[in-house]
Amino acid sequence: MSRAVVTGGLGGAASWVVSSLADRGWDVRSIDFRRPSDPGAGPANVDFRAADLTDQGQTWELISEFDPDYVVHFAAYPNPLGHGGARVYENNTISTYNVLSAAGSAGADVVWASSETVYGTVFAEPSFLPDYFPIDTDHPMRPEDPYGTSKVAGEEIAKMVTRRYDVSVASVRPSWINYPGDYDATTIREHFDPETASLDDDFGVTFHNAVGNFFSYVDIRDVVSLTERAMEADFDGHEPFMAVAKENLLGVDTADAVEATYGDLPPEVDLAGDQSAIDYRNAREVLDWEPEHSWREAEDESVDGPSFV
């Protein structure tokens, strides 16, 4: 039986990874800052452990003694909000160093959750346009916030680990993750008016985040499938992959929506209709991966999530 450590295993995204791997017969160790209130509610092949991943000793012990084939690192503060910036950066960067270096020392390949925020446009004040559309994995990374900067640092840690331990590391950069039957993106679409849209809309953090990623999103099931494809694929060193749906969350022309909001477009735009402003070409070419889910069906779907959360 293949063995995987999944960090942040009780979190919104990682819990779906844990559940999927368990269903596929993997022996899984979930490490989070807590255990489920009823650990017995989870699959029999999932071992739930609690640990502070910023503590190197705990992290290395729990990974090395399990001797995993793969480590999936999703644990992190998920944005720069709600905590001091230094705390967000410190937690995310140190935990990523501890987990990835422990994985490398154990000879385990890694998939970890980086972020689309490495480009800097999501949490910038004010948000700014990229150099070109669609944004790809080669676009410069220019974060102005502690969260996006922690993910850039994490990708550098990933490269270091591949060089030092000769393991592969996939940095998955998800767009705005949405969950079937509970799509946050629905609210944005229902309130978006291209005639009046602007960066000054008083619609709160959710709207500004959607503006910063240019109305892209991804279904959690596609994040899981990309993660599993990265675990199955044979590649060397470090590779970044965008996890994003094929289309924007608005159902309107992407370039028109961006121009209506920003009042401008980058000098180079190669988008057709509602095509996502973020390109997943590298995932298609290296992993033979395509997103399968769209808001058009998913926002009203009834899908059971993980039983242990």
Q: What is the CATH number of domain 3-179+217-246+279-292?
A: 3.40.50.720
Counting as low any pLDDT under 70, the low residues of the chain are 198-209
pLDDT recorded at residue 99:
99
pLDDT recorded at residue 190:
85
Q: Where are the alpha helices (DSSP H) in 185-274?
A: 185-191, 204-212, 220-232, 254-262
Torsion of the alpha carbons at 299, 302, 307 and 309, rounded to the nearest 10: 30
Domain range list for the chain: 3-179+217-246+279-292
pLDDT recorded at residue 243:
98
pLDDT recorded at residue 198:
62
pLDDT recorded at residue 204:
54
Sign of the four-CA dihedral 230, 171, 75, 123? negative
Summarize pLDDT for 215-263 with one digit per residue, the tens. Answer: 999 999 999 999 999 999 999 999 999 999 999 999 999 999 999 999 9
For 115, phi then psi, to 5°, come to -170, 150
* β pairing state of 3-7 and 132-133: unpaired
For 204, phi then psi, to 5°, come to 90, -175
pLDDT recorded at residue 39:
77
Summarize pLDDT for 39-71 with one digit per residue, the tens. Answer: 788 899 999 999 999 999 999 999 999 999 999
